[in-house]
């Protein structure tokens, strides 16, 4: 298990133990959400959720919900102690852990924005992100990790932009005047960029390590990484989630 996973699990265990949540049996349920539940009806139909490539797992804890993108989904029920003890060997286990972490930290009042935005909100988030980058960086070259279509569309209008994705259906396609690159170009795309804008899904699919192991400014986005970003001190942008 990578060092950052060990640190993340240790930090989560310490917080749960501090609040005496590990001493009691707690039921946590995670289920894959339908496309409409997860994202509603955006104006364009090009999000991975709408194409059936991924689902949002939702963990519910004491009336609070947390989500995580994953391509391996199903139901799970157990205590927080059980979940902390998971080996996290596959995307399903990591999705259960990550969505649970988000739900519990929302319950504790540590984070907001654990539920995916819907309908026209993804486009609004993209414009908000563009404004945020303009306020904090000077004409950066941006590499987007993960094909978030509205981010690629809006950011490429104002910044020199590259996009890297893992979906074979996207790789090599020209989207919004940007050629979507495959994971084999990741190192070059990182070296080229002044700013990395990284999907939180990299946490669940366990590709996040290559983005942490450099000194580039980085901004994670989405609901998936909400709890981990708070626990690990990573920067996160997710302006329209609830």
101-148 pLDDT, tens digit per residue, is: 999 999 999 999 999 888 888 899 999 999 999 999 999 999 999 998
183-241 pLDDT, tens digit per residue, is: 999 999 999 999 999 999 999 999 999 999 899 999 999 999 999 999 999 999 999 99
Burial zone of 161 (CB within 10 Å; 0-12 exposed, 13-18 middle, 19+ buried): buried
At 36 the pLDDT is 62
168-183 pLDDT, tens digit per residue, is: 989 999 999 999 999 9
Q: Residues 71-89: what's their mean pLDDT?
A: 90
Q: Residues 24-42: what's their mean pLDDT?
A: 59
d(CA 178, CA 32): 31
At 49 the pLDDT is 43
Does position 51 have pLDDT exceeding 80, yes or no?
Answer: no
d(CA 114, CA 155): 23
- The residue extents of the domains of the chain are 3-107, 121-237
For the record, the structure tokens of 48 come out as: 């991975």
Does position 33 have pLDDT exceeding 60, yes or no?
Answer: no
Provide the CATH topology of domain 121-237.
Rossmann fold (3.40.50)
List, in order, residues 6 or more apart from 118 with CB less than 8 Å away: 38, 39, 40, 41, 42
């Amino acid at each position: 298990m990578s060092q950052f996973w060990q640190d993340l699990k240790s930090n989560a265990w310490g917080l749960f133990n501090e609040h005496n949540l590990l001493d009691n049996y707690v039921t946590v349920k995670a289920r894959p959400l339908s496309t409409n539940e997860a994202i509603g009806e955006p104006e364009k139909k090009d999000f991975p959720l709408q194409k059936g490539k991924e689902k949002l797992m939702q963990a519910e804890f004491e009336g609070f919900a947390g989500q995580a993108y994953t391509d391996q989904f199903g139901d799970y029920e157990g205590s927080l102690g059980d979940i902390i003890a998971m080996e996290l060997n596959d995307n399903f286990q990591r999705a259960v852990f990550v969505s649970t972490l988000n739900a519990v930290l929302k319950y504790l009042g540590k984070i907001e924005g654990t539920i995916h935005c819907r309908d026209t909100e993804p486009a609004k988030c993209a414009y908000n992100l563009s404004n945020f980058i303009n306020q904090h960086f000077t004409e950066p070259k941006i590499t987007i990790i993960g094909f978030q279509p509205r981010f690629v569309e809006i950011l490429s209008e104002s910044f020199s932009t590259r996009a890297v994705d893992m979906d074979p259906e996207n790789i090599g396609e020209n989207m919004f005047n940007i050629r979507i690159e495959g994971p084999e170009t990741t190192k070059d795309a990182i070296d080229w960029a002044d700013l990395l804008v990284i999907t939180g899904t990299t946490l669940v699919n366990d590709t996040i390590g290559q983005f942490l192991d450099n000194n580039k400014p980085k901004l994670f986005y989405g609901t998936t990484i909400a709890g981990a970003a708070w626990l690990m001190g990573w920067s996160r942008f997710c302006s329209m989630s609830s």
